[in-house]
Amino acid sequence: MDLFRAHVLVCGGTGCSSSGSAELIKRFEEQIAKNGLDREVKVVRTGCFGLCEAGPVVIVYPEGTFYSRIRPEDVDEIVSEHLLKGRVVQHLVYKEKADEEQHVTLDNIDFYRPQMRLALRNCGVIDPENIDEYIAFDGYKALAKVLTEMTPEQVIDEVLKSGLRGRGGAGFPTGKKWQFAAASKADQKYMVCNADEGDPGAFMDRSVLEGDPHSVLEAMAIGGYAIGASEGYIYVRAEYPIAVKRLEIAINQAREYGLLGKNIFGSGFDFDIFIRLGAGAFVCGEETALMHSIEGGRGEPKPKPPFPAVRGLFDKPTNINNVETLANIPQIILKGSEWFASIGTEKSKGTKVFALGGKINNTGLVEVPMGTPLRDIIYKIGGGIPGGKKFKAVQTGGPSGGCIPADYLDIAIDYDSLTAIGSMMGSGGMIVMDEDNCMVDIARFFLDFTVDESCGKCTPCRIGTRRMLEILERIVEGKGEEGDIEKLEALAENIKATALCGLGQTAPNPVLSTLKYFRDEYEAHIKEKRCPAHHCQKLLNYEITDKCRGCTACARVCPVNAITGKVKEMHHIDRAKCIKCGSCMEKCRFGAIVKN
């Protein structure tokens, strides 16, 4: 085995890859060889480090120096100074404060301090395309333990006692799911991984598959043993090419090592895994629609019961878990259910991964213990709101979730607390909004997504959500009418009560939560024809203030000649002609044009 005095870890997740990390790796390898360091320094392509805002990220070990926003031209300096001469290149190091000069590592960056990485434990640490690195970090040790030391009943009991709940939506106890599937009698059973991550702004499952695919394979094999399944399927979005590629590599490596296939660990247990690509339909995140798609049919949900544990894929008993749920399983087996249950809250055990995005300084992937206050995620980890703006709300649970207002910044993030205030955990999307966001338009955006993604099988979802969207579109265009709010509420309650699947039943949640906490914004749109956030274009009025210098730039850029005035004199906007395009405000160099 080759021993190296230094390792250069380069983020190979989708975010950093899109910013050119592949070119960085090539450049590092060339410069390391050029300086005669190729036998001393190894370059490793990893998964996502989490701090996407700072990408592309490079970490140099053994020092652990955290370099951010690295460009190909920076590589030469890192190699010649840090790797050759042992001098950290300070101006390329990630800095949270402009005057910071300390040795920056993962341990002293505010973004990472409150986190506890369990599902993400190997992401950004190992080469996901090298099974030996996964094995070096206790990989497949849990599978060996269950196959040589535990009965299927003992495995299920351990998962039950851990308190692990599904990380993909409703939070159903994972151990009970396994228990139900194990109790079904059949000649064939299936273990399915739901990697059809369709929420806008969500990339938790993708990052686990890109950074640690073997953890999911190992967990599926453990689950297969527990329920009596010999085959597993991973249903993954085709839009995740890096994840798909690394899954394919991981499956082939596991087969080659005898960790998938026949007679694993000489135990007599047979289990293999196959990949099925999804075409990006949001509804295929619902388990019955997902199974239809795997079978080659159209992704449409079906009524339950029967539940998948009784009659699922190919009409056989099936267990379905999402990626993050499965990523926790090996650690529960190795460290014990008591260890896992000691993390989090009484009814929400362990950690949760969130994709933090929107109006936030530190966009990226975070993993925190259940029960962490929302304020800590937004301000301690996320670094607060850009530009000194005020925090307004955060959307959790994607199109199926709700908007949490600033009044609940100190709420503990767990399943029950979020449900109590009209939101939900969902798969873990967390979109932050500031004072410039219009909550009526936010509701319209999510409902527009749901309408577009509805499979159309049931009338409440197909027609009801479209009627709601039409009302919201009228409201943001200044055409709202008295009674629209009551119509939205009535439609929402009917859809929740009668839609066929969970996705349809939760589709009205963004509307209901914004009506609950931001009803005044709806009323302003309807009664006053005004958008309090100054966001809805049709409700804006532009005005030139006395800061105007008469430079004529605004008049020259106006496409409809709505601005008049002489040189060096204050200009005026004819509101009857103004089409509210905002070009004048963008062009003004003196801040003389405001919108209200």
What pLDDT, on a 0 to 100 scale, did the predictor assign at position 96?
76
As a whole number, mean pLDDT of residues 527-542 equals: 92
What pLDDT, on a 0 to 100 scale, did the predictor assign at position 97?
59
Q: Is the pLDDT of residue 511 over 90?
A: yes
Residue 326, both tokens: 């499965």
What pLDDT, on a 0 to 100 scale, did the predictor assign at position 101?
60
Of the listed ranges 141-150, 159-168, 277-286, the one predicted with least confidence: 277-286
Angle of the 152-162 helix axis to the 174-183 helix axis, nearest 10: 150
Residue 538, both tokens: 């049709």
Highest mean pLDDT among 42-51, 162-171, 535-544: 42-51
What pLDDT, on a 0 to 100 scale, did the predictor assign at position 484?
97
Give the Cα separation of 539 and 477 in Å (integer): 7
In the beta sheet, which residues pair with residue 87? none
Q: Is the pLDDT of residue 506 over 70?
A: yes
> Is the Cα dihedral 94, 100, 105, 106 positive or negative?
negative
Q: 58 near 79, Cβ under 8 Å?
A: no
Q: Is the pLDDT of residue 89 over 70?
A: yes
Each residue of 337-394: pLDDT tens digit?
999 999 999 999 999 999 999 999 999 999 999 999 999 999 999 999 999 999 999 9
**Higher model confidence: residue 269 or residue 96?**
269
Each residue of 191-245: pLDDT tens digit?
999 999 888 888 999 999 999 999 999 999 999 999 999 999 999 999 999 999 9
As a whole number, mean pLDDT of residues 465-486 equals: 96
Picking from 432, 284, 467, 259, the residue whose alpha carbon sits closest to that of residue 355 is 432
Each residue of 557-584: pLDDT tens digit?
999 999 999 999 999 999 999 998 889 9
Each residue of 269-291: pLDDT tens digit?
999 999 999 988 889 989 999 99
What pLDDT, on a 0 to 100 scale, did the predictor assign at position 330?
98
What percent of the chain shows pLDDT beyond 70?
99
Give the Cα separation of 272 and 289 in Å (integer): 23
As a whole number, mean pLDDT of residues 321-350 equals: 97
Q: Is the pLDDT of residue 99 over 90?
A: no
- Please provide the average confidence, as pLDDT, over all residues in the chain: 94
Q: 584 near 536, Cβ under 8 Å?
A: no
Give the Cα separation of 246 and 236 in Å (integer): 12
What domains does the chain contain, in order, with CATH numbers?
6-108 (3.40.30.10), 131-338 (3.40.50.11540), 351-434 (3.10.20.600), 439-527 (1.20.1440.230), 540-595 (3.30.70.20)
Each residue of 36-83: pLDDT tens digit?
999 999 999 999 999 999 999 999 999 999 999 999 999 999 999 999
What pLDDT, on a 0 to 100 scale, did the predictor assign at position 461?
93
The CA angle 357-345-206, to the nearest 5 degrees, is 35
Give the Cα separation of 417 and 411 in Å (integer): 7
The HSE-up count of residue 80 (CA atoms within 13 Å, CB side) is: 6
Confidence of residue 100 (pLDDT cuts 50, 70, 90): low
Each residue of 419-469: pLDDT tens digit?
899 888 887 889 999 999 999 999 999 999 999 999 999 999 999 999 999
What pLDDT, on a 0 to 100 scale, did the predictor assign at position 103?
79
Q: Is the pLDDT of residue 540 over 80?
A: yes
